[in-house]
Amino acid sequence: MTDFLNDLNEVQRNAVIATTGPVMVLAGAGSGKTRVITYRIAYLIRNEGVSPQNILALTFTNKAAGEMRHRVDTLLHQGSSRGLWIGTFHSIFARILRNSIDLIGYDKNFSIFDSEDSKSLIRQSMAELNISVESVPVNTVQGLISRAKNSFILPSEFHRNASDYNQQKASQIYELYARKLKENNALDFDDLLIKPLELFNAHPEVLQELQETFRYIMIDEYQDTNRAQYLVAKMLGAKHRNIFVVGDDAQSIYSWRGADISNILNFQDDYHDALTFKLVENYRSTGNILKAANNVISCNLRQIKKELISHRNEGEPLTLIEAYNERNEAERVGEQIRNLRLKQGFEFRSFAVFYRTNAQSRVLEDVMRQHKIPYKIFGSVSFYKRKEIKDAVAYLRFILNDRDGESLLRIINFPPRKIGDVSIAKLREFAEDRQISLYEAILHSGEGGFQPRLVNALSSFSAVIETLRKVAVDGTVYEVLTELFTLTSIPLLLQTENTPESLVRYENLQELLSMARDFSDHNPDTGSLGDFLENISLASDYDETQESDNYVSLMTVHAAKGLEFPVVFITGLEERLFPLHCYEPEELEEERRLFYVAMTRAQEKIFLSWAQSRYQYGQQHHCLRSMFIGEIDASIVQTESGNFLSDRQAKEKVASGFSSPSRGYQSKTATSSSAVAGVLPKSSQPAFREGTMVHHAVFGPGVVLDVQGSGAKQKVRITFRNAGEKTLMVQYANLRIQQ
């Protein structure tokens, strides 16, 4: 009866047959965690005689749930999983609520509002409260409410603890929004996680019945659970305590969407008698890849110690690519792909190129197209097809050609100017009557008998266009785009929105600005706006869809989780890029976990690349090599020429002033006792350097970008986490060095 367990290694098998009491399985990358869960379900049903309806298995994606059910059916007989509760947290909790939600004042046929439905209801709530979407963006409100719900923070508590302006306004909206949801007999996605808690607290008998039903509870990717998911699972498993969680704290990379690494780190505090099994036998990667991954993750303080071991040979060393700029970096990635295909026979599908931010894909895409290397973007769309890029490019097209009606319709109400479809229809009529273009109708809107509000909005729009046209006469592409962003405040609006999505869009616009600066710098005499747009048109017309699946995969590291490839390139390994703008130890540790995830996707070979300079925010910046490279044993890292790095080369921080990686940043120049304590002595000014982490009483934490002058007139340009970029006089700034 237990023959099928012979497919498992000893630790996997012991975890599967440990069916009584709480169990935590720490499953390292590539160690077979899904196999352990599915075999355990099969073992419970086949060997322990447990009814499928008494087993609950929770996952994060429908794909994972489907794969789990399929594997169980394969291990047993087809259909043997009938009655088994396998599904995502949202789907299982929705099923529970369908049975009993009437007890807390909802009908059982409640609606589930998607993100757009939720935004619409938030807008209604804001209108009733006289809170304008200009003062607090809808996406910001939605994000704040969502994070509150995921942490099981109800409106009253949120209101009490609201600190800044956005939170105070969002707390008012949250309360009304919650009431409106109930009036609509509707739940949003986050309600599916917190309404079970409300139900269980109000009606313990419902919880008791479910506790009796779910005698065995299994949770996949436990490191990704949020507060609400943690609480529901703990309540459901409280009676029988047969809770079985599988995860890897070293792969916890989603704190920005509510995941709480404390859930897995503190599991044994919740269950003192829990058994812990560590799956460290990796079946994916070579020995050197795992050695590098172990080197890096060992620098984190908040972790459960484990080291992956390989069943394979040592394999090749990691190769370090040191480029002089981002274009050269992309060229050398492309060159390595061509060489490996030629020398070792790899298919294009064998390669994956990872980057930290979506905006980095632009240069890589350009090089892939230029060298006819087929590629596909995963987890996003091609750079030139992203909405914010198409919006900005539409402005540039219209500046050159004011008869481009498609571009005009795209930009006339972006950013919002309250020029709706009805107003545009009236403009069309006016243009047809006068037999003029739509833009000419806008210029003469004062003669059309329109309402003053519309005339003012149209005049404001045309003023932007005319100003940009004047700049375009003698100015560079970079100057035109800079003026566009200044006049419309589009990047600022995205920053103010301050959601993960809006910040990605902001970074993409900054990459477009960098592209424009690069184009202007390299084409000082011939680089017209028309030439720039022609380059974009040729790039955006490139057909990414391949007739086969043989293409290079381009993606962010976040999108790569759960995947594997023979050859992996990890690009942009520079300070403030990867790790990305880390100001707190917790943030730096998550960046390190993200790098660990990137490395453990590789099966055969890893290339690490960084650029000595990179265009950022339209300016060329000197870059510092990522501290993560220096955390890898130098004996397994070689240059492109095949030379191994010395230990000094590998750990050198290029005068960046970093301390021990686990402690974050520290200036090496502050040598007095007061400076070591973090306070700059007034009698002497430390020689600030690029990369020094500082704290300002008003602006908060930041990082020094560059230093200007010396002595009493010394200035530092700093990018602050919450206040953006500032240039300050050192003498008066009262900056504190971050330890």
Residue-wise pLDDT for 596-609, tens only, equals 999 999 999 999 99
Q: How far apart are CA 63 and CA 412, in angstroms?
A: 41
Active-site hit among 251, 336, 357, 738:
251
Residue 73, beta-bridge partner list? none
Q: Among the listed ranges 352-361, 627-636, 724-733, which one has the minimum average pLDDT value? A: 724-733
pLDDT of residue 722: 59
| Predicted structure pTM score | 0.80
Rounded (5°) CA angle 324-253-143: 105
The verdict on domain 385-539 having CATH code 3.40.50.720 is: no
In contact, 279 and 26? CB cutoff 8 Å: yes
Specify the long-range contacts of residues 439-445, CB closer than 8 Å, at least 24 apart: 439/398, 439/402, 439/403, 439/408, 439/465, 442/412
The single-letter code of the amino acid at 384 is Y
**Rg of the chain taking only CA atoms, in angstroms:** 28
pLDDT of residue 646: 61
Residue 94: which residues within 8 A CB-CB, separation 6 or more? 112, 192
Task: Examine the residue annotation and report whether 601 is marked as an active-site residue of this protein.
Answer: yes
Active-site hit among 191, 220, 404, 589:
220
Q: Among the listed ranges 387-401, 448-462, 688-702, which one has the minimum average pLDDT value? A: 688-702
Active-site hit among 35, 149, 332, 601:
601
Residue 243, beta-bridge partner list? 217
List the structure tokens of 588: 């730096």
In contact, 698 and 722? CB cutoff 8 Å: no
Q: What are the residue ranges spanned by the domains of the chain? A: 4-98+195-279, 111-184, 309-374+548-648, 385-539, 692-737
Residue 728, beta-bridge partner list? 716
In contact, 436 and 444? CB cutoff 8 Å: yes
Q: Please report, in range form, the residues annotated as the binding site for ATP.
A: 27-34
Q: How far apart are CA 219 and CA 34, in angstroms?
A: 11
In contact, 142 and 500? CB cutoff 8 Å: no
Average pLDDT, the chain: 86
pLDDT at 653 over 60: no
Active-site hit among 33, 356, 592, 614:
33
562 φ/ψ sector (left φ>0, alpha ψ -120 to 50, else beta): left
Q: Which residues of 139-178 are buried (b: 16+ CB within 10 A; e: fewer)?
A: bbbbbbbbbbbbbbbebeebbeebeeebbebbbbbbbbbb
Residue-wise pLDDT for 515-568, tens only, equals 888 888 877 766 688 888 887 877 765 554 455 789 999 999 999 998 999 999
Task: Examine the residue annotation and report whether 220 is marked as an active-site residue of this protein.
Answer: yes
Phi, psi of 674 (to 5 degrees): -70, -35
Residue-wise pLDDT for 300-349, tens only, equals 999 999 999 988 899 999 999 999 999 999 999 999 999 999 999 999 99
The single-letter code of the amino acid at 729 is M
Phi, psi of 319 (to 5 degrees): -110, 130
Q: How far apart are CA 14 and CA 9, in angstroms?
A: 9
pLDDT of residue 128: 93
Q: Which CATH number fits domain 309-374+548-648: 3.30.930.10, 3.40.50.300, 3.40.50.11540, 2.60.120.10?
A: 3.40.50.300
Active-site hit among 221, 331, 388, 690:
221
Burial class (CB in 10 A: 0-12, 13-18, 19+), 643: exposed
Among 11, 30, 8, 23, residue whose Cα is nearest residue 604: 30
- The CATH fold assigned to 111-184 is Arc Repressor Mutant, subunit A (1.10.10)
**Fold identical between 4-98+195-279 and 309-374+548-648?**
yes
Tell me whether strands 318-323 and 637-639 are parallel, antiparallel or unpaired.
parallel
* Torsion angle defined by CA atoms of residues 427, 433, 435 and 437, in that order, rounded to the nearest 10 degrees: 0
Residue 162: which residues within 8 A CB-CB, separation 6 or more? 168, 170, 171
Domain range 4-98+195-279, CATH class: alpha beta
Structure letter (DSSP) for residue 704:
E
Task: Examine the residue annotation and report whether 82 is marked as an active-site residue of this protein.
Answer: no
Phi, psi of 222 (to 5 degrees): -60, -25
Average pLDDT estimate for 145-173: 88
Q: How far apart are CA 415 and CA 228, in angstroms?
A: 36
List the structure tokens of 130: 């006289």
Q: How far apart are CA 386 and CA 425, in angstroms?
A: 27
Question: For residue 314, how far is the Cα from the chain centroid?
Answer: 32
In contact, 311 and 281? CB cutoff 8 Å: yes
Structure letter (DSSP) for residue 109:
T
Q: How far apart are CA 510 and CA 482, in angstroms?
A: 10
Task: Examine the residue annotation and report whether 34 is marked as an active-site residue of this protein.
Answer: yes
Q: Please report, in range form, the residues annotated as the binding site.
A: 27-34
